Structure 1
Amino acid sequence: MKADVSREQLASAANYSPDTITSMERGVRRPTSRVLDVADELCDAKGMLSGAKEFVNRERFPARAQDFMEREREATSIWSYEVALVPGLLQTKGYARSLIDNRIPPLDEETVEERIAARMERQAVLNQRKPPVGLSFVLYEAVLRSPLVDAEQLRHLLEAGRLRNVVIQVLPFERAISGALLGPMVLLETRDHERFAFAEGQFSSELSADPGVVSRVTERLSMIRTQALDPDESARFIERMVDQS
C-alpha cells in the first residue's frame, strides 16, 4: 500500500481482519465507510479516500432501487400504496431486519447491517426535512396481518400517523378493488415539479417519468385512497390490532 501503510496496520486500525482488507483491495468486497476513513487518515490522503464513500453508500440499496432512492431524496411529496409489506419509510428496525436478513440467496452480515442502516436513514424524510415532505400511505389490510408485523410495528405506524405531514390509511379486505391487488405503487413529485411513478416487483423495478404511466398510477392511487378508511378510522383500526396482539 502507498504511504508505507501495511494491510495489517489498516486492518488493525479499522478493526477488520487482514483477509477482509485483502478482499476489499481485490474488489471481492466493497470497502466500508469506516475503512475508507481510516485509510484516508493513515495515508494522509486529505479526503481523497473518504470522498469515495458517496459511491459506496449508493450500493447500500439494491441496484434496481438506486434511481428511486435518488428521487426520493429530492421529493416534496410522496404517495405510496403497499399490498404486502410495510413501506420502508414506516418500518421499525426489527421489521426491516426480518426482511433484509431473510433474503434468498442470503446476504452477508455486513451488507445486511448496511442496508438496515440505510433504510433507517431514509426515514429522515418523515420529520427532518424543511420544508416538510407531504407523505401519504395506504396499506392493504394484508400488510398488517402479516406474521412479521408485531405490536411494536403497529405502534410505530400510529406514531408516524400523528405527524402533521403524514397520512396513513388502511384499505380493509372488504373494500379492496381489483386495482388494489395488482401490486405496490409509489408516486412522487420533486422540487422541480417532476413527477415519477415507481413499481417494484420480485425481480425488477421500474421508475418512470412517462406522463401516461404517471397518469395511470395517479388515477389508480386516487381510487384506492377513496376506498380506504380515513386517517382517524385507520388509526382506530390499527389500535384494535394492537389491543388484540
Structure 2
Amino acid sequence: MAEALDQYYGTPGLLLAMWEMAVADPTQFREQYRRYMTLEAEAVSLWHFGVTILPGLLRTDAYARELLALGGYEGKELERQVTARAGRRVVPEGEAAPPFRAIMAETVLRTPLRDAGARREQLDYLLEVSERRNITLQVLLDSAGPHGLVSTAVMFLRLASGTPVAYTESAHRGELIEEGAAVERLQRAYDAMPTRR
C-alpha cells in the first residue's frame, strides 16, 4: 500500500519508510495515531481547523521541534521525532496531491515562537504553500467571536470511498472519529465559520 502511494505522490520510498517506522517502532508514533496516519496518506481531500497551532502538514521543522520539545522530547529523540513528522509534509505536495483547506484561528498566526527566526521561516513557508493550487489557507479572526469548534482542533479526511472521517486533537490526546453522525456535526460547525483568505 505505501509503495503504491509513494508512486502516486512521486515520493520514492518516503511514505514507505514512514510506514515502516510507525509499524516497527511504537515509540515513533503512538498506536492511536497509526490508523489516522494511514488514512491521511490515503485521503482524496483534507480540511483542517486549528485552534492554537498549525496542522502537522504545514509545519516547518523548527516549528515542529519547538512543539515537540514542549512535549518533553530532547536530544536525539527530539530530532528523530522532527524527522518523522517532516515526512508528513509530502501529503499535500506534488502534481497529484489532494486538495487541502486549512482554517486557522487568528491566534495560530499571532502566537510567537521562542526563536523569532523560526517563526519568520514558518510564516514564509505558509505564504509559499498558499500559492499551491491544491492548498487553501483561511483565517478565522478573533473578532468573529465564539463558534462551533471553539476548543476543538480537527482534521477531516475524505477517503476514496467518499466517506469522511475526523480526527480531533488537544494538547494531551487525539481521537479518530469515524461514526457518521459525529463527523457530520463537526463538519457542520466547520462549514459555518466566517473566514477570510
TM-score of Structure 1 vs Structure 2, range by shorter chain = 0.7 to 0.9
State how far apart, in whole Å, the 2-side matches of 1:53 and 1:83 are.
29
Q: Which structure 2 segments of 5+ residues have no match?
A: 1-19
State how far apart, in whole Å, the 2-side matches of 1:205 and 1:180 are.
15
1:70 to 20, 32, 38: 38
Q: Which amino acid aligns with 2:90?
A: A
Q: How does 1:67-106 map to 2 (within 5 A)?
A: 67-103=35-71, 106=72
State how far apart, in whole Å, the 1-side matches of 2:131 and 2:47 are.
17
1:192 aligns with 2:161: yes
Q: Which amino acid aligns with 1:186?
A: M
The change in CA–CA distance for 1:54 and 1:87 in structure 2 (over 3 A counts) is closer
1:221 to 179, 190, 193: 190
Query: CA offsets, 1:111-136, max 9 Å, x none?
Result: 212211121110001213x5320100
Matched-pair contact (CA < 8 Å) for 2:147–2:189 = no
**Between 155-164 and 63-72, the greater mean CA deviation after superposition:** 63-72
* Paired position in structure 1 for 2:103: 138
User: Alpha-carbon deviation of 1:109?
Assistant: 2.6
| Corresponding residue SS for 2:91 | helix
Matched-pair contact (CA < 8 Å) for 2:65–2:82 = yes
Q: Which has the higher contact order (CA 8 A, sep 6+)?
A: 2
The change in CA–CA distance for 1:58 and 1:133 in structure 2 (over 3 A counts) is farther
Q: Which structure 1 segments of 5+ residues have no match?
A: 1-51, 232-245
State how far apart, in whole Å, the 2-side matches of 1:140 and 1:183 are.
11
| TM-score normalised by the chain length of structure 2 | 0.81
Q: Larger Cα Rg: Structure 1 or Structure 2?
A: 1
1:120 aligns with 2:89: no
State how far apart, in whole Å, the 2-side matches of 1:57 and 1:124 are.
21
Name the count of aligned residue pairs.
174
* Paired position in structure 1 for 2:5: none
State how far apart, in whole Å, the 2-side matches of 1:88 and 1:81 are.
12
Matched-pair contact (CA < 8 Å) for 1:188–1:195 = yes
| TM-score normalised by the chain length of structure 1 | 0.66
TM-align CA RMSD: 1.9
* Paired position in structure 1 for 2:29: 61
| Corresponding residue SS for 1:193 | coil
* Paired position in structure 2 for 1:235: none
State how far apart, in whole Å, the 1-side matches of 2:159 and 2:36 are.
12
* Paired position in structure 1 for 2:6: none
Query: CA offsets, 1:184-211, max 9 Å, x none?
Result: 1111111122211110123322111101
Percentage of pairs with the same residue: 27
**Between 154-163 and 140-149, the greater mean CA deviation after superposition:** 140-149
